[in-house]
Amino acid sequence: MSITTKIHIEHERLALVPTLQNLEDIAIRVITQGNTDPGSTVFPFLIEYRDRDRLEEMLDADPTVQTYELVDWTDQTGIYYIEHTPETKLISSVVTDVNGFLVHTETKGNGWLVRLLLPDREALNTIWEYANENDISLDIIEIYGNTDTGGESSYGLTDEQRIALTTAYENGYFGEPRDISLNEVADEIGLSSTAMSGRLRRGMRNLIAATIIDREE
């Protein structure tokens, strides 16, 4: 079953992160294109910033930028083709390798918020392993199972989050008053109380996002 997932990635050598860290109120997103060459290091970007000269000064100094070409500049927004340096950290190659697709990519905080369409959870695991091997911080924010009508939905939950929530629910953790403590729930599946608390919190966040909050917000 294919999945759609939203992840946040951070590393000081991810594409354009040095520019992002040095310019306040800058917004960058990758313009989706049909290029699926896993070895490609040239991408089109839409960059919103008030000062073009200052922006290009930072692009000149950015160690992740080999070359750049301005395509258009209108109303404090530029479209650039940017070629990255060999040391730049990119996830586009591994996403293509697992037959995935980058649906939407934009900057957030000191990193990138990426929405991916992947063939299965194993593909996501491969991307996770690639991130770990390259010291890229990767946080899975949402996961949705792309099921046919009438099929079972993941409701944004990982398998681990589903097990944690189900175990807590079945043992009365969400009752009022509670029938079981957090430590006891954690013991049921062999986790520390801290790990269990985090898994429940992330699971509830994903469940709310998948069932109550508009996914596109």
Alpha-carbon distances, residue 91 vs 15, 147, 160 (angstroms): 10, 26, 24
pLDDT value at position 216? 46
Query: What confidence tier does 156 reach under pLDDT thresholds 50, 70, 90?
Result: low
pLDDT value at position 155? 64
Which of the two residues, 144 and 211, has the higher pLDDT score?
144
Q: What is the mean pLDDT of residues 12-28?
A: 96
Cα(53)–Cα(42) distance, integer angstroms: 22
pLDDT at 168 over 70: yes
pLDDT at 64 over 90: yes
pLDDT value at position 53? 97
Instruction: Verify cis geometry, omega within 30 degrees of 0, for the bond prior to 119.
Output: no
3-state secondary structure of 151: coil
CB 144 within 8 A of CB 5: yes
Instruction: Write out pLDDT tens, residues 93-152.
Output: 899 999 999 989 999 999 999 999 999 889 999 999 999 999 999 998 888 776 543 444
**% of the chain at pLDDT higher than 70:** 87
The ranges assigned to domains in the chain are 3-145, 159-211
- Lowest mean pLDDT segment, chosen from 3-17, 37-51, 170-184, 202-216: 202-216
Going through 31-162 in order, the beta strands assigned E by DSSP cover: 42-48, 65-74, 77-84, 101-108, 111-118, 137-145
pLDDT at 29 over 50: yes
What is the average pLDDT value for the chain, to the nearest integer? 87
pLDDT value at position 181? 92
pLDDT value at position 179? 87
Instruction: Write out pLDDT tens, residues 171-204.
Output: 888 887 888 899 999 998 999 999 999 889 888 8
pLDDT value at position 160? 85
Cα(209)–Cα(207) distance, integer angstroms: 5
pLDDT at 154 over 70: no
Residues 6+ apart with CB under 8 A from 203: 157, 158, 161, 162, 164, 165
What values do phi and psi take at 60, rounded to 5?
A: -60, -35
